[in-house]
Structure 1
Amino acid sequence: MFRLTALFFLVMFVIGTDTFLISPLIPTLQALFHIPTAYSGWMVGAYALGYALFALIAGPLSDGWNRKKVMFFGMVGFSVSTALCGFATGFWSMFLFRLLAGVSAAFAAPQVWASIPALIPAPRIAQVSGIVMAGLAASQAFGIPLGSLLASTHWSYPFFTIGACSLAVAAFISYALPDMKPNLDPAARTPIFSRYLPLLQSRIARRAFLAHFLFQCGFFAAFSFIGKWVTDRFHLSVDQAGYVMFFLGLGNIVGSLGGAYAVKTFNRFRTLAAGFLVAIVCFIALPHLPSVAAFEGVYFFIFVHMGIAFPLILGLLNALNPTIRGTISSLANSIMYAATTLGAWLAGLMYATFNGFAAVGLFAAVCFAGSLAAFVSSGLLTRRAGEKA
């Protein structure tokens, strides 16, 4: 079991690192490729767009395939497309390679969550899921700063490094993961998009997924331009921006590890509501802070909230209808990356139009307020356990 846990952790770590690597590199790539600020967010959004478009079909399709092969070829494609980013010669080649990396990740990453209940003994599923989720948090705390340090030597090195590491993980998949044959149950042959109908027809589900979208859109709009903002405001180098990301990633880890205790102590409604309200105040205050230390301190609390809220929200969504959890996970992932795409694009426009982070922070605060309102109005936070949406 240790071998499988380590494998799943590494898959999420390399994919998580690649997902947000562009953020601290935006100033460097913007200058290198002569990209206007208004369009620079698309270097983040291209990856998210590829993931969002294919996550809706990749999850249901893979139910009829051997999951080991899907994960393996997904990681190989992810490795190649990420390494190709290091050869990009301009905005459009970078956009294409990032898009392909997102498409590959949409096939590889969901297989991790689908494989855990199939391969891990039931009493250990929650523990293993927590460790795998920590792989994403660790990618922010360690992977992105390491990528920034490599980029201080040459901007292409992080992409080559992640591509090579991803290829090693693909080899690990081939060695450690057993074959998982497709489910031939006739119920599994239901048309792909028909599986989403119970969610579309549920008022609770519609509002819950709207809340999820607004939460992700606001967070990633602000996150995508952290590197750009600290570079412009505090004149940091790319490796110094990486250190900022490291500190913020620690906040995510703190939130991930302490989230269960917070929910147990304060209940899920109070935990989520208090975190959203604090984050709203933080987003509004961020552009007006006088120093890097103050910026890091305030954003640290936002990342703590993200570490607590993200798994809590996914748990609430998966509880909407336990009979279609795979479909819910695919939809949740697609919505998250669609929100990342839109948030990064809008943040670039706002940053360029209003010449700074103030409009981006206000946008994030409005999104968080709308997300909290949608969660409360959905009734999901007060719904009884086991009750279908």
Structure 2
Amino acid sequence: MFRLTTLFFLVMFVIGTDTFLISPLIPTLQNMFHIPTEYAGWMVGAYALGYALFALIAGPLSDGWDRKKVMLSGMVCFAVSTMLCGFATGFGSMFLFRFLAGVSAAFTAPQVWASIPALFPPSKIAKVSGIVMAGLAASQAFGIPIGSLLASTHWSYPFFTIGACALLVAVFIFYALPAMKPNQDPQTKNPIFSRYLPLLNSPLARRAFLAHFLFQGGFFAAFSFIGKWVTDRFHLSIDQAGYVMFFLGLGNIVGSFGGAYVIQKLNRFNTLVAGFLVSIACFIVLPHLPSVAAFEGVYFFIFVNMGIAFPLILGMLNSLNPTIRGTISSLANSIMYAATTLGSWIAGLLYATFNGFSSVGLFAAACFAGSLLCFIFSGIVNNQAQAKKELAS
């Protein structure tokens, strides 16, 4: 079991690192490719676009295939497309290769979350999910520093390095992951998009996914503007802002590793409610803190909660219907990227209109409050049996 846990950790770390890899390279690539600022962000957005669009297809398809083959093929394609980014000669080729990397990740990452309930006993799922989430959290903490360090020698080195690491992980998948034949449930033989119908027709599932959307939208709205806020408010340099992000990423790692223990002590409902209420209070007070140290300390608790809540939420969503876990995981990931895009856009409007982070913090707090209410009233937190019954009908 340790081998599989390590494998899933590495898959999420490599994919997560690639997600954040290009951020410190934008000024260099913008100058090299001679593109205006308004287009430069699409070198990041291309990855998210490829992921969000194809995750909706990848999930239903993977429920009818051997998950090992899907994960292996996706990781190989991810490695190749990432390395191709290092050969990009302009904005068009970089956009294409980043888009393909996002498509490959859309087929790979959801298999991890769908495989955990299939390969581990119920008593271990929360712990394993937390450790795997720590892989994504570690990529948030180390992705930007890794990209900056490698790019200091040549801009292409980060892409070649992460691509090579992805190939090694693909070899690990080939030797360590057992075959996972598709479930013979009739739902897995339906046309692709019709497999979403049990989720769309279930009021419980709709409320749960809406809660997931609000949670991700609120978090990433605030996350997107941390660097700008600390730079504007505390006059930090880009390097100093990067150290702030590194510290916050450690909070995510702490939450991911400690999540299973917290859930065991408080139970799932109390963990969710307490974490969300603490985060809401933190978002409200953040803009009024007098120092960088205070800001980091309060935001650290938000990231700890993110590390605990994210795998907990994915676990609840995946338990809705065990026969379509790939579909559920892909829908959850697609919703996350859609919420990230929308939340960041709204946060940008709020920040520019009201000239500061206060409105962004209030928006994030409102999203978390709405998410908590949706989770509670959906009944998914306490009533998994009813959820399965409703989706099966």
| TM-score of the aligned structures, taking structure 2 as reference length | 0.84
Instruction: Tell me the equivalent position of 1:303.
Output: 303
Q: Deviations over 1:226-270 (max 9, x none)?
A: 334434444545443332222111111222233233334434333
Aligned mates of 1:39, 1:360 — CA distance in 2:
24
Instruction: For residue 204 of structure 1, report the CA deviation from its aligned partner.
Output: 1.9
Aligned mates of 2:296, 2:320 — CA distance in 1:
36
1:119-268 counterparts in 2 under 5 A?
119=119, 127-151=127-151, 155-183=155-183, 187-268=187-268
Aligned mates of 1:343, 1:25 — CA distance in 2:
23
Contact 1:41–1:348 under 8 Å retained in 2: no
Q: Deviations over 1:33-82 (max 9, x none)?
A: 6644x776655443222212111211221233343332222112222333
Other structure's SS at 1:65 match: coil
Bigger drift between 202-211 and 132-141 goes to 132-141
Bigger drift between 301-310 and 114-123 goes to 114-123
Contact 1:218–1:367 under 8 Å retained in 2: yes
Other structure's SS at 1:227 match: helix
Structure 1 pair 169–319 and aligned structure 2 pair: CA distance change class (3 A):
closer
Aligned mates of 2:318, 2:182 — CA distance in 1:
22
Contact 2:129–2:311 under 8 Å retained in 1: no
Aligned mates of 1:282, 1:67 — CA distance in 2:
40
Q: Percent identity?
A: 81
Structure 1 pair 321–73 and aligned structure 2 pair: CA distance change class (3 A):
closer
Instruction: Tell me the equivalent position of 1:320.
Output: 320
Contact 1:15–1:105 under 8 Å retained in 2: yes
Question: Structure 1: which 5+ runs fail to align?
Answer: none
Instruction: Tell me the equivalent position of 1:293.
Output: 293
Aligned mates of 1:292, 1:163 — CA distance in 2:
36
Structure 1 pair 195–161 and aligned structure 2 pair: CA distance change class (3 A):
same
Contact 1:23–1:226 under 8 Å retained in 2: no
Aligned mates of 2:287, 2:142 — CA distance in 1:
25
Aligned mates of 2:129, 2:223 — CA distance in 1:
25
Aligned mates of 2:156, 2:235 — CA distance in 1:
22
Contact 1:144–1:242 under 8 Å retained in 2: yes
Instruction: Tell me the equivalent position of 2:7.
Output: 7
Structure 1 counterpart of 2:226, one-letter code: I
Other structure's SS at 2:65 match: coil
Contact 2:185–2:323 under 8 Å retained in 1: no
Instruction: Tell me the equivalent position of 1:386.
Output: 385
Structure 1 pair 266–311 and aligned structure 2 pair: CA distance change class (3 A):
same
Structure 1 pair 321–70 and aligned structure 2 pair: CA distance change class (3 A):
closer
Instruction: For residue 94 of structure 1, report the CA deviation from its aligned partner.
Output: 4.4
Structure 2 counterpart of 1:346, one-letter code: I
Contact 2:234–2:291 under 8 Å retained in 1: yes
Structure 1 pair 51–3 and aligned structure 2 pair: CA distance change class (3 A):
same
Aligned mates of 1:360, 1:42 — CA distance in 2:
23
Q: Deviations over 1:81-114 (max 9, x none)?
A: 3334445566655444332221110111122234
Structure 1 pair 315–201 and aligned structure 2 pair: CA distance change class (3 A):
same
Contact 2:251–2:307 under 8 Å retained in 1: yes
Aligned mates of 2:299, 2:92 — CA distance in 1:
32
Contact 1:45–1:344 under 8 Å retained in 2: no
Q: Deviations over 1:112-166 (max 9, x none)?
A: 2344455557775555444323222222233443334434555544333222211
Contact 1:14–1:166 under 8 Å retained in 2: yes
1:103-114 counterparts in 2 under 5 A?
103-114=103-114
Contact 1:66–1:182 under 8 Å retained in 2: yes
Q: CA RMSD in A?
A: 3.2
Instruction: For residue 217 of structure 1, report the CA deviation from its aligned partner.
Output: 1.0
Structure 1 pair 27–227 and aligned structure 2 pair: CA distance change class (3 A):
farther
Aligned mates of 1:330, 1:180 — CA distance in 2:
17
Structure 1 pair 131–228 and aligned structure 2 pair: CA distance change class (3 A):
same
Structure 2 counterpart of 1:340, one-letter code: T
Instruction: Tell me the equivalent position of 2:284.
Output: 284
Instruction: For residue 179 of structure 1, report the CA deviation from its aligned partner.
Output: 4.5
| TM-score of the aligned structures, taking structure 1 as reference length | 0.85
Contact 2:131–2:257 under 8 Å retained in 1: no
Aligned mates of 1:118, 1:323 — CA distance in 2:
10
Other structure's SS at 1:380 match: coil
Question: Structure 2: which 5+ runs fail to align?
Answer: none
1:266-277 counterparts in 2 under 5 A?
266-277=266-277
Contact 1:66–1:180 under 8 Å retained in 2: yes
Instruction: Tell me the equivalent position of 1:54.
Output: 54
Contact 2:78–2:163 under 8 Å retained in 1: yes
